[in-house]
A and B are shown apart, each in its own frame.
Chain A
Amino acid sequence: MRGMLATFAVLCAALIAMTAAGVEPGEMLADPVLETRARDISKNLRCLVCQNQSIDDSNAALARDLRIIVRERLAAGDSDTEVIDYVVARYGDFVLLKPPLKPVTYALWFGPVAIALAAAAAAAAFLRRRRTRRPFRSIPTSAAGSKRC
């Protein structure tokens, strides 16, 4: 049993190591502060070749080119926002793994919360109505009711 657990742990470690295959040592910046910023930026930039990976994870050639561009621009003194804007200007908002908050994405960001609130309000109204009304309908005594009888 312990042997199996150990094997499992080793396999997990190997898998985790494999997922970090994107960045190659030769690409890294000498300045550790800039390199950290580059890694953080790259982690939120989508690789358009293999769309569910970030350019930090992907070993596609285009991802590598973009990682290098991110580092070049940081080394040239760009702020993080400027670097991200540079890539978004070329590839659009889809390149961001976390969609930006702007009018066209309001439905995306607030939709689920709005639906949950509406559902909660409806449930509350339903329950309150059920509590205040008697479970049995009273026999209609109005003119319309008697006529139907």
Chain B
Amino acid sequence: MERLVNLLFAGRFVYVLPLAALAALTVVFLFGLQKDPRIVPSALIDKPVPEFALPPITGGPGMGLASADLKSRISVVNVWASWCGPCKAEHPLVEELARSGLATVYGLNYKDEPSDALRWLADLGNPYTEIGADRNGRVGIDWGVYGVPETFIVDHEGRIRHKHVGPMTAEAVDGEIEPILRVLGP
């Protein structure tokens, strides 16, 4: 101990120490500031999808969406709503993802009026293999959804592998979503 203290106070090192600590902290904070605090990591990564069974949009196409649908193939679950502007912005990318054949793309229509949702699909096109209508948002809460749009990648065993918060961008699809889908396999 005595030797350690002597070593520490030998020379000028001790006077530089607080400055060095401050510099280290500044670097940590600079990196911290680059992160978007609105993006909360999902608590469900690598966990099985929550159990749910949702009907289709009233008067709309398909059979609805249930957890069983997500357990035999690689899927992308896109949470959307007609009242959500950014959903419209990412819509072409959802279509592109569906066309790529890398995954089956499902929709989770979150807290939407059926007539609004159907008009939205008629106007923009329906990229989804199936859509589940989550009228009261309870299934969304089971998925940890806290805003729309959100996009989940589910592997062929029905485990959630990735979550993208907010609208997908071309960069996010190229750099984040497609690489993960390719790793998960055909």
Partner of B141, one of A65, A88, A94: A65
B11 at interface by CB-CB < 8 Å: no
B141 touches A92 (CB 8 A): no
Known: A66-B141, A126-B9, A129-B5. A90 touches B44 (CB 8 A): yes
- The digit string for A69-111, where 1 denotes a CB below 8 A from any CB of B, is 1000000000000000000111111100000000000000000
- The digit string for A35-62, where 1 denotes a CB below 8 A from any CB of B, is 0000000000000110100000000011
B41 touches A122 (CB 8 A): no
A92 touches B146 (CB 8 A): no
Chain B: residues with Cβ within 8 Å of the partner, total of 22
A61 vs B42: C-alpha distance in the bound complex, in angstroms? 20
Q: For residues 95 through 128 of chain B, which have their beta carbon under 8 Å from a beta carbon of chain A? A: 111
Partner of A90, one of B14, B37, B38, B142: B142
Known: A49-B147, A65-B141. A92 touches B41 (CB 8 A): yes
Closest to B43 in A: A92
A interface, over-half SS: helix
B8 touches A92 (CB 8 A): no
B43 touches A90 (CB 8 A): yes
A92 touches B37 (CB 8 A): no
Q: For residues 93 through 149 of chain A, which have their beta carbon under 8 Å from a beta carbon of chain B? A: 93-94, 122, 125-126, 129
B144 at interface by CB-CB < 8 Å: yes
B37 touches A91 (CB 8 A): no
A92 vs B143: C-alpha distance in the bound complex, in angstroms? 11
Collect the chain B residues with CB atoms within 8 Å of residue A66's CB: 141
B92 at interface by CB-CB < 8 Å: no
B43 touches A89 (CB 8 A): yes
B172 at interface by CB-CB < 8 Å: no
Known: A65-B137, A129-B5. A91 touches B147 (CB 8 A): no
B23 at interface by CB-CB < 8 Å: no
Q: What are 14 inter-chain pairs, A to B, with CB distance below 8 A?
A: A49-B147, A51-B37, A61-B111, A65-B136, A65-B138, A65-B141, A90-B43, A90-B44, A90-B141, A90-B142, A91-B40, A91-B43, A94-B40, A125-B5
Spell out A's residues near B (CB within 8 Å).
Answer: 48-49, 51, 61-62, 65-66, 69, 88-94, 122, 125-126, 129
Q: Shortest 6 CB-CB distances between A and B: which pairs?
A: A92-B43, A48-B146, A90-B144, A125-B5, A94-B40, A91-B144
